[in-house]
Chains A and B, each alone.
Chain A
Amino acid sequence: MTGWREFDQNPVSHSAAHHLTTIQFLLDEFGYARVSDVARHLGITRGSVSVTLKGLRQRGLVVEDKHKHLGLSEEGIRIARGIRIKRVLVQAMLRDLLGIPDEIAEQDACKVEHLISDLTAEAVSKLLQKIENGDTPKPLHEFIEEMKKESSGSKSVFPSEEAQQFSELLEQRRTEHEDK
């Protein structure tokens, strides 16, 4: 179990991801982004934004002109776009496949958007597209509809007895597989 270490080695931290996507959002929406705008949008202090942006400038992801207007470098744009797309995909997967309410799906997607690999995001995208295009066997469609119904009505505290038993079964199966 070494996956947790990936958190520290991720190219951008959760905070940095939000700064990049916020700058991109402000540029798209208003045509400019300043430290005060980013701070207001994220609900944090200008001091915090300035300190975070210093690191992002040093890494060549954020640029600042003489009027203190912020922009993103090509690499910054690529990363911000990637994070946004991952958020959209994960949110759609949680909402459309598992029937998670959109608001919770968005919050959960936001928590992992900068952590999941490009490979995983691509796979999620392909799966969603296949379903969108109807390239899946009919039983899967029926299964997804069933999932949506079950998830929308479920408000129990996690983990439910079923989920706990199932995870134990999965772990047991995995241990048996590793022992072989």
Chain B
Amino acid sequence: MTQGISRKEAIDRLNGLLSEEMEASMRYLHLGMMVQGLDRLIVQKVLQENLEETLEHSEQVAEKILQLGGCPAPKIRVEFEEKRYSGKEALQEALLFEQAALDGYRDLLEHVDGGGDVILEEFARQQVSVESEHVAGLKMLLEE
């Protein structure tokens, strides 16, 4: 039990985040395949780095679920568009699901903040920080 939210709710929320991270890795993989144009080589590299990070995040979230006594059980239903992306379009799409993951971690932090489970709280805080950097990095590339 965490004092802020029940253990079950914490596991459910973490499984939601695991789904976000695993879906994001698939989307990065797909975007890397479909990106075209002059900036393909540069953007592919960015997408590959982000793919590796989302996989790391998936493992970290799964680890937290296991620590809480739960089972990593992501629910993944991804539909990929049959289209090619310019470098900019690929990064714009990446920004959408990175922002979604950031919002998810913010939600988790909001629920566990001050609730007594220091480890989970610290994890959520750290993920918010890392995802915020991702989002900021993508926005810089997109000049937003």
Q: Which residues of A contact B (CB under 8 A)?
A: 13, 15, 35-36, 43-52, 54-55
Contacts of A54 in B (CB 8 A): 92-93, 96
A51-B103 contact, Cβ under 8 Å, with A15-B79, A45-B23: no
A47, B23: Cα distance in complex, Å: 8
Interface of A is mostly: helix
Contact for B96 among A15, A43, A44, A51, CB less than 8 A: A51
A55, B82: Cα distance in complex, Å: 13
A48, B104: Cα distance in complex, Å: 13
A49, B77: Cα distance in complex, Å: 11
Tell me if A51 and B93 are in contact (CB < 8 A): yes
Tell me if B19 and A45 are in contact (CB < 8 A): yes
A69, B129: Cα distance in complex, Å: 24
A46-B20 contact, Cβ under 8 Å, with A35-B100, A51-B96, A51-B97: yes
Tell me if B96 and A45 are in contact (CB < 8 A): no
Most chain B CB within a 10 A radius of its CB, from A46, A49, A51, A54: A46
* Minimum-distance CB pairs A-B, first 6: A47-B97, A46-B100, A50-B96, A47-B100, A50-B100, A45-B20
Q: Which residue of B lies closest to A54 (CB)?
A: B96
Tell me if A46 and B103 are in contact (CB < 8 A): yes
A48-B77 contact, Cβ under 8 Å, with A54-B93, A54-B96: yes
B38 within 8 A of partner (CB): no
Report B87-108 residues with CB < 8 Å from chain A CB: 92-93, 96-97, 99-101, 103-104, 107
Tell me if A50 and B79 are in contact (CB < 8 A): no
A52, B78: Cα distance in complex, Å: 10
Tell me if A46 and B93 are in contact (CB < 8 A): no
Q: Can you list 16 pairs linking A and B with CB atoms under 8 Å apart?
A: A13-B79, A35-B100, A35-B103, A36-B107, A45-B20, A45-B23, A45-B97, A46-B97, A46-B103, A47-B96, A48-B79, A50-B99, A51-B27, A51-B96, A52-B79, A54-B93
Contacts of B101 in A (CB 8 A): 46-47
B109 within 8 A of partner (CB): no
Tell me if B23 and A48 are in contact (CB < 8 A): yes
A47-B77 contact, Cβ under 8 Å, with A35-B100, A35-B103, A36-B107: no
A47-B20 contact, Cβ under 8 Å, with A54-B93, A54-B96: yes
Minimum CB–CB distance from A168 to chain B (whole Å) comes to 36
B104-116: CB near A (< 8 Å → 1, else 0) gives: 1001000000000
Tell me if A50 and B75 are in contact (CB < 8 A): no
Q: Which residue of B lies closest to A40 (CB)?
A: B16
Minimum CB–CB distance from B4 to chain A (whole Å) comes to 18
Most chain B CB within a 10 A radius of its CB, from A15, A35, A48: A48
A44-B27 contact, Cβ under 8 Å, with A35-B103, A50-B96, A50-B100: no
A165, B103: Cα distance in complex, Å: 56
Contacts of A55 in B (CB 8 A): 81
B24 within 8 A of partner (CB): yes
Minimum CB–CB distance from B5 to chain A (whole Å) comes to 16
